[in-house]
Chains A and B, each alone.
Chain A
Amino acid sequence: MKEDILTTQDLHLYYGDKEALKGINLDFDEKGITALIGPSGCGKSTYLRTLNRMNDLIPNVTITGTIKFKGNDLYAPSADTVQIRKEIGMVFQQPNPFPFSIYDNVIYGLRIAGEKDKERLDAVVEKSLRQAAVWDEVKDHLHESALALSGGQQQRVCIARVLAVSPEIILLDEPTSALDPVSSSQIEATLLNLRHDYTIIIVTHNLQQASRIADRTAFFMNGELIEVDQTKNIFMNPANKQTEDYISGRFG
């Protein structure tokens, strides 16, 4: 059996008094893609953002329960959020390249970490952009601003930027919902390439997308995890009535 890289036990999250996550138990083993689906406001994005402690930025959030990354408690007092976010990278709904060149965007994390060797940086830029399947489109203007790219290219540069710091887990929060269908399918192809090397957790509104790319799918509703299984089972033969209703489009 493969080892779980990330485990969640009895995770509750409150915005002030409102309970947004009501005791989530969910484990992820290494590599592969897990999709988190569910109606708007079901807590799937909130859950994703607890995994690299991005919810820390929101005032008035209380979190109880345990999240362990390779056995280490992410919320232990000694946990280093900076280190956590290096190992658990994140791509957002809105492509958010920094207002610098493509090259600088990709190596930003490394450069700030102190890497100066030009050859190594060049190599990382090429490797990351290739992995993100955007190298051929941008290789001739690496030193132009990333903001001049199309939305889909920007999003893949953002993926490359995450890959450049060599994370083990990549979280994606509806990465294609702001993109056109062509760009979306390019991102999907990119993710399918990456699934052998990284543990990928993706929140998506798009059920077809989940069924196309995910190995495993988790269905959330009203702050609870209703069902998690192989994607095939979730879509063809869900165990839970609510899942079936949602999948078949009866609500949400």
Chain B
Amino acid sequence: MNSKTQNKVAIGSLYGIAGLVVLILLALLGYILVSGVPQLSWHFLTAPGKAFLKGGGVGIQLFNSFYLLILAMLISFPIALGAAIYLYEYAKDNWLTTTIRTAIEILSSLPSVVVGLFGFLFFVVKLHLGFSILSGAFALTFFNLPLLTRSIEDSLRTVSDVQREGGLALGLSRWETVTRVILPAAVPSILTGVILSAGRVFGEAAALIYTAGQSAPALNFTDWNPFNISSPLNPMRPAETLAVHIWKINSEGIMPDAKAISSGSSAVLVIAILLFNFAARYLGKRLYKRLTSA
């Protein structure tokens, strides 16, 4: 075989493999959307679920998913940001940082069900937080922290060292250089990373089953006092999320329209995550443009 044919064969098989990946992806997405989208309606998106009758919705689960996501992000983002800044901008290569990095690697490859069980034993049982949004948010923080830290570290890496030198040579302290030059320059990339990790958190089920619980008590959407038990904002109430809901009705759902609700919920989940991804790209690009060519 001469090198020209070799080249053609190689390109051909690479196209084939790439096409196969795209095909599988499209088939999956298509199946979920085709079977799920017809179930969607305003009622489905807002009504509370019904355990035994048909016609239930996923309103509470949807709200829980978002609330949990926001809480988890509020807890994990500052920690991840601090850790990433330390690791990339300050830390020297020594045994301590090697240990931290290894810990982050291990934590990020931990199966989420293990994170969930740890959350159950530690937050739910040991700290007496019960099955609650707070327990769930902490578990999600453990799940999210390593991914987010690495993504922010990568964002900092995209800012060229000449920027750091520029800042320091101008008589800025290292902290001023980081906060006033490097971070603003890294914002588009950090934002993209945050939204993408939000997508993963949003779809997470295993870490939440034993921490935020599998029940969705009725909520009173007129009561926004976080100390009342039926308030949507109460962080101590159990809160089944959309992803957990899908798992639950598929394993033990006894409502007559379980299949339809499961398909509809899956579609909502997938659409939400798609929206996250598109938003990440759009916002990242827009911000980058604003920063670079005003």
Contacts and interface: CB of A to CB of B under 8 A. Distances in A.
Interface string A163-204: 001000000000000000000000000000000000000000
Most A Cβ at <10 Å: residue of B160, B163, B171, B180: B171
Interface in A84-140: 84-87, 89-90, 92, 94, 96-101, 108-109, 112
A10 interface: no
Interface residues of A, number: 32
Given A57-B165, A92-B162, A96-B162, A101 B294 contact: yes
Contact of B185 (A52, A82, A98, A112): A98
Contacts of B181: 98, 108
* B-side interface mostly: helix
B284 to A, nearest CB: 14
A36 to B, nearest CB: 17
A148 B292 contact: yes
B166 interface: yes
Interface string B169-199: 1111100100011001100000000000000
A148 B293 contact: yes
A174 to B, nearest CB: 13
Contacts, number: 80
B165 A96 contact: yes
Nearest to B169: A90
A9 to B, nearest CB: 24
A112 B178 CA distance: 12
Interface in B62-118: 92-93
B219 interface: no
Most B Cβ at <10 Å: residue of A89, A97, A99, A145: A99
Interface of B: 92-93, 160, 162-173, 176, 180-181, 184-185, 291-294
